Structure formats: C-alpha cells, structure tokens
Structure 1
Amino acid sequence: MKLLRLLCRHKTALGLGGLSLFAVVLLYLANGPKYTERRSIIRSTWLSTAGRPPHEDVWCRFVVGTGGLGGDELRGLELEQSRHRDLLLLPELRDSYENLTAKILAMYVWLDLHLDFRFVLKADDDTFVRLDVLVDELRAKEPRRLYWGFFSGRGRVKSGGKWKESAWVLCDYYLPYALGGGYVLSADLVRYLRLSREYLNLWQSEDVSLGAWLAPVEVKRVHDPRFDTEYKSRGCNNKYVVTHKQSIEDMLEKHQTLAKEGKLCKEEVKLRLSYMYDWGVPPSQCCQRKDGIP
C-alpha cells in the first residue's frame, strides 16, 4: 500500500528534515473504535499544542503495527492518517501483547534511522502528560545518556499471566528499570539500541527489557516521583508530569482543569504512597514508600 511504503522512505521524503528537540511516541496494542477514540482525545488534550508554538519542536506519532490487519482496518488507518498525519505504521509487525517488546525496539530503530531528535518520550495510550513542563525541562538537559522515569529495582519476576517471563534467567528480581507508563530516553541511547538490536533478548515486558538492555551501559538514571507510571495511579498531584492509567474522562478533566485553573487536579488525591529510589543500597532495598513524596 502506498501509505506503508511511504513510511519506509528517507526522512527528507517524509518531511522530517531538521532537528526536533523532542519526539513523543505512543504505543497502541490494538485497533478498533475505542482506540480511535483514545487517539482523538489525546490529540485534543495534552498533545493539542505539539508542533505549534511554543512546542513547534515536538514531533508526535501513534505507533501501530499493521501486520495481519484486514482491508477495512487498513483503509481506516489510511483515512485517519490522511486527516491527522500522526501515525507511524509498522507493516512487518503484528500488534499484540506478545509483540510489544519487538514493537518498541522496531520503533526505536525507525526513529534513529529517520528522525533527528534529542529526546524521546515513550508513553502508553492511557497516559496523560504535562507537555509544557516536560519540554521546558528537556530544553535545559544535556541530550546524553539520559534514562528518566519512575524506577523499580525490586520487581519480582512474573511467573504467570500475560507478562509471564519464562526466559528470564538473570536473577530473581528484574534489573532496575523505568516503569513503562512513560519514560524519556536521550537520542544516543536510542542509537545504541538500534546498533545492538541483533544481540538483544526480547522479554515479555518492554520496560523490563529496556532496563536489562541498558544495564551494562553508562547511563544517567533519573528517578522522578513526578512520573506516576506504576501499574495503577498513585492519585492526582499537581506536581505530576506524567500520569498513567487515565481514562478518557480523566484526560478530559485534567485538560479542562489545566486550561481553567492552571493546575492538574481539581482536588489532589493520594491513593498510595510513593518513594525515592535509593541508588546506594542493593536494588531489592531501593524503594521504601513514605509519606511526603508526590
């Protein structure tokens, strides 16, 4: 199909010449009416200023694997692309939970080959981002070996369910990794992943895999409790920059509250305690939850 061939061409043909400060890529696991609605809501809320002043240096794409899709689904994506031009279609990848790690690696390979950028935010489709805060802070950061998010070092290896890790033999815990609801990498680490891709093991969880891939690398790991990116949200805090596990209604409310009141939360709510990562102790002792942390 013309659209799929076009996405494989050089960046100048794609209109991607020049330097983008920041690439935002959102991963999608399936396609259907509810996912189309999620993309629409994200476009109209926290991504609404991307590509325009003051965020003209932000480049955003929704990443979709199109392998195995039927004609109607492909035509629907073509129509959506013609309207919004913000899909990154991976024709050789079938979208599924089992392929999520392969998908994220393919996405990073594509980015390094086709786009000049300094940082990338990977976020899920149920994540809300304070794009203004994130971009302002990234403008002041050096684009070198940065791995920024909310880290875990004591995650027990999953022995069942869809995230079961049958091939994990490194240790009895996962290696320290930034939780996958949203994290930032500098472009040099993305290049490292592309150059190393033939040697990388693909575990079931993409965020666990990334932590293992970067474990032997000299990386600046920045644990930030303003990234509310665990398997369930810790609540609403006006300091949060990235918030995972958000419904469509949550996104609309946060966007409207920001527009009207200049803050994220109508009312701050704490559902569970947070922690600061202690890099001076073994990873299994890293993360003691305490009050007073966002």
Structure 2
Amino acid sequence: MLILRRSSREKGRVFHQSAQEMSDGKKLRKWSNGTYRSRCLFFPLALLAVVLFFYNITVENSDGRARLWKQYDAKKWWHGQESSSQGKEIDRTTTASAIVWETQSSPYFVAYPSEYRFIINEPQKCEEEKPFVVLMVPVAPSSRRRRDVIRRTWGGQREVLGKRVTVFFLLGLHTGEPVEQLEEKLQQESKEHQDLIQSNFMDCYNNLTIKSMVMLEWLDSYCSGIPYAMKVDSDIYLNLQNLITMLLNAPETNYMTGHVAKGAEVFRDPNSKWYLPANIYPKPFYPSYVLGLGYVLSLDLPKKLLEASRHVKAIYIEDVYLGLCIEYLGITPMDPPDWNYFHFVPVPYDRCAYSELVATTLDEDTNLEWVWKDLQREGKVC
C-alpha cells in the first residue's frame, strides 16, 4: 500500500511508503473441497507458505533499500501507480540518481532523473517574448488564489527598467480529490493566462527536488536563449526593480546567487524535517548552496546541472541538492552584491526596508496586495 502525505506550508518532491510488507510467493491454487488428497496437501503447503512469508520479511527488513529496489518499477510507482511487475529491477537508465533510505516511520524515494513530461506547456513563449529574466514560481495545483495574487502584484509587471520579464507557474499533479475537476480548471486557467507549466509528477513537499529539476529541464528546452531565470517561491515579496538592477551587472555564465548558506550542518536527528542519514550523505557539513526561497541563475546552468544530476545522488532537500550538483560542476554560488537582498526570515513590512531588498518570505497573515498598493503610492519611501 502506498501513502502520499501532503505537507504543510514550506518549500516542491517524495512518496512515503507504508511499512507493511508484501510476499513474493506465488498464490496457492484454489483447492477443491471434495477431495481427501487436496486436504492432505493443503496444510503442509500452507505451513510452508507462512514460513516463507516471514522469512521474506526478515531478509527484506535487513536491507530496506534493497527491498524497495526489488519490489517497484520506479516509473510506474512514481506516477502514483503500484507496479504490477514486482520483483523487476528498476530501469537505472532513467533513474540513475534515485535513492532510498528509511527514517523511523517510513522510507523515502527520490526518482530523478526520470521520464517526466509536460501536460500543460508554453513552449513558444520565451522565443516570442525574449525576456531578460524568466520568473519560475513553483506552486500547488490547487492554489489558484495565490497565483492570482501574484498576477495582481509583482508578477503582473511585464517590463522593468526597460527589460522584459516573463512569469510562469510550475505545477505537478494534484494529490487530492477531485482530480478531474481541478485539471479542467487548470486547462481553463492556462487558456486565460498562458502562464502555467504542469508536469506529471506528484506535487508534494518531498517532491520539491523533482519539481526543481523539472523546472531546469523546461528552462533548458524552451528558454535557453535568454540571459537569466529566477526560481521564486509563491510566499515571497519580490522587488523586480532591484533584481533587474542586480542582473544588469551580473556574470552571464556559471552564475547562481541568492541567500548563500555556507558551512551548513547536516541534520542527523531522525525527527527533523531535514533529516539526512549518514549512509546517504556522510559529510557533517553541506557545500555552499543557495536557499530555495529564491535563487537566480544564468541560463547556461540548467543544462550543466541536469548533467550533474546523473552523477549526484538525489535527496529530497531541493536547495541542498542543487548545491551538491553545483559542487560537482566545480562552481561556487556567488553572494549577492548586498547582503540585505535576500531574506529567508520574513522582514516586517516597512516601505523603506522593502525598497532596498530583492526578496523576502512573508508571514502567513501578510496581505501581499495591500503591501503592493502601499509600495506603489507616491511619497517618500525612506
């Protein structure tokens, strides 16, 4: 039995599997009740089946990772369908970096690289609009209100300081009910705004690594000819004028910036949301990486990061994983020109403070539309 646990508000990508074990033994034939021979054979065979069942559980529990590699076809499982061909080896050509480990309660599985496809797409928009920067906003499929708020605030700006800006919302598959009605609404929303990109992975917190890598696949396929992109979370205030000003003086290759974490310690407590076992990542500290609230990159990097992902074990902490891929490439993320540009702790609203930053997370009770209107009004800012 597979269970998908939906996350609370946080930065979206992994399935949880129940601890219930499944026997690999063949099903016994249906026995006839009318023959003495059938009765004689049934009890020894039933006893043997029980012994083999518990032996199978014991062996498989000695190595949970081997068990999962054995029991599931990754591509079928990852699209929400239990494999009908248990015992079959995973296709390692499409899941070269897939990794499995267990916490106290359940195993995790990150299937990337894999064969994801886009079911809602805007393949020509970058070519048609030729933006200076593309803003990629990961958001849950059901969060229409949040998308509309962004469209009415910072996401509604099309030209800043003479530079074209294009915004896309990146979605996976809805994990709740009713799915069909929501998909119809998404199709209608896509026709109305032409800014949705949807792929066929399950959209949940522990699948954020998949979501980020699918984003890079899309940028490499459809926007490789433009200078910059920024991944920005949906609970962010973004100051586009300061972003464009920063990018006008930024490197054009091997460039990644945001709030750079340096010397971050690996969490070894199994109860932590960011727990990572030593057998998956043995080093006590992570390499430098850019926090996932919002990071900027030159668009030569998506292709390089996708190639690196085939050599770096996938983990569910998406910003750390990109840091591992950057490290593999021998590239170091750059600090922004001003330490005050990126804030992962919400900055209390103040016109002067918000005029000087690039991005800050927002408290849940912050009214972004009110903040936006206040920032647009005339008068002294600082």
| Same-fold status (TM-score > 0.5) | yes
Q: Which residue of 2 aligns with 1:98?
A: 206
Identity over aligned pairs, percent: 23
Residue identity in the other structure for 1:99: N
Contact residue 63 and residue 107 of structure 1 kept, 8 A: yes
Q: Which residue of 2 aligns with 1:16?
A: 126
Contact residue 342 and residue 359 of structure 2 kept, 8 A: yes
Residue identity in the other structure for 1:104: S
Q: Which residue of 1 aligns with 2:320?
A: 208
Displacement of 1:126 in angstroms is 0.3
Q: Which residue of 1 aligns with 2:15?
A: none
Q: Give the aligned CA root-mean-square deviation in angstroms.
A: 2.6
Cα deviations by residue, 1:42-67 (Å, 9 ceiling, x for unpaired): 111111112x4656622211100026
Q: What is the rounded CA distance, in whole Å, between the counterparts of 1:165 and 1:96 in structure 2?
A: 18
Q: Which residue of 1 aligns with 2:24?
A: none
Which 4+ residue blocks in structure 1 deviate beyond 6 angstroms? 262-265
Q: Which residue of 2 aligns with 1:61?
A: 168
Rate the CA distance shift 1:257–1:194 in 2: closer, same or farther, 3 A. Answer: same
Q: What is the rounded CA distance, in whole Å, between the counterparts of 1:55 and 1:61 in structure 2?
A: 20
Rate the CA distance shift 1:78–1:97 in 2: closer, same or farther, 3 A. Answer: same
Matching residue within 128, 141, 147 for 1:31: 141
Cα deviations by residue, 1:14-64 (Å, 9 ceiling, x for unpaired): 343254321100112x333xx2111111111111112x4656622211100
Rate the CA distance shift 1:67–1:260 in 2: closer, same or farther, 3 A. Answer: closer
Displacement of 1:161 in angstroms is 3.6
Q: Which residue of 1 aligns with 2:84?
A: none
SS at match of 1:208: helix
Q: What is the rounded CA distance, in whole Å, between the counterparts of 1:162 and 1:22 in structure 2?
A: 32
Displacement of 1:68 in angstroms is 5.6
Contact residue 47 and residue 131 of structure 1 kept, 8 A: no
Aligned residues: 253
Rate the CA distance shift 1:79–1:175 in 2: closer, same or farther, 3 A. Answer: same
Q: Which residue of 2 aligns with 1:162?
A: 273
Q: 1:214-233 counterparts in 2 under 5 A?
A: 214-219=326-331, 221-224=333-336, 225-230=339-344, 232-233=345-346
Rate the CA distance shift 1:38–1:68 in 2: closer, same or farther, 3 A. Answer: closer
Q: 1:39-78 counterparts in 2 under 5 A?
A: 39-50=147-158, 52=159, 57-66=164-173, 70-78=179-187
Matching residue within 208, 226, 244 for 1:135: 244
Residue identity in the other structure for 1:79: Q
Rate the CA distance shift 1:180–1:264 in 2: closer, same or farther, 3 A. Answer: farther
Q: Which residue of 1 aligns with 2:307?
A: 195
SS at match of 1:210: helix
Q: 1:87-126 counterparts in 2 under 5 A?
A: 87-91=196-200, 93-115=201-223, 116-126=225-235
Displacement of 1:218 in angstroms is 4.0
TM-score scaled by length of structure 2: 0.60
Matching residue within 56, 69, 80 for 2:189: 80
Cα deviations by residue, 1:180-199 (Å, 9 ceiling, x for unpaired): 11110111111201233322
Q: What is the rounded CA distance, in whole Å, between the counterparts of 1:169 and 1:53 in structure 2?
A: 42
SS at match of 1:142: coil
Rate the CA distance shift 1:153–1:46 in 2: closer, same or farther, 3 A. Answer: same
Residue identity in the other structure for 2:303: R
Residue identity in the other structure for 1:20: P
Q: What is the rounded CA distance, in whole Å, between the counterparts of 1:152 and 1:176 in structure 2?
A: 6
Rate the CA distance shift 1:264–1:118 in 2: closer, same or farther, 3 A. Answer: farther
Rate the CA distance shift 1:183–1:16 in 2: closer, same or farther, 3 A. Answer: closer
Q: What is the rounded CA distance, in whole Å, between the counterparts of 2:282 and 2:262 in structure 1?
A: 13
Computing the radius of gyration from Cα coordinates, the structure with the larger value is 2
Rate the CA distance shift 1:264–1:196 in 2: closer, same or farther, 3 A. Answer: farther
Structure 2: runs of 5+ lacking an equivalent: 1-117
Q: What is the rounded CA distance, in whole Å, between the counterparts of 1:128 and 1:24 in structure 2?
A: 13
Relative to structure 2, which stretch is displaced further, 177-186 or 214-223? 214-223
SS at match of 2:328: coil
Q: Which residue of 1 aligns with 2:291?
A: 179
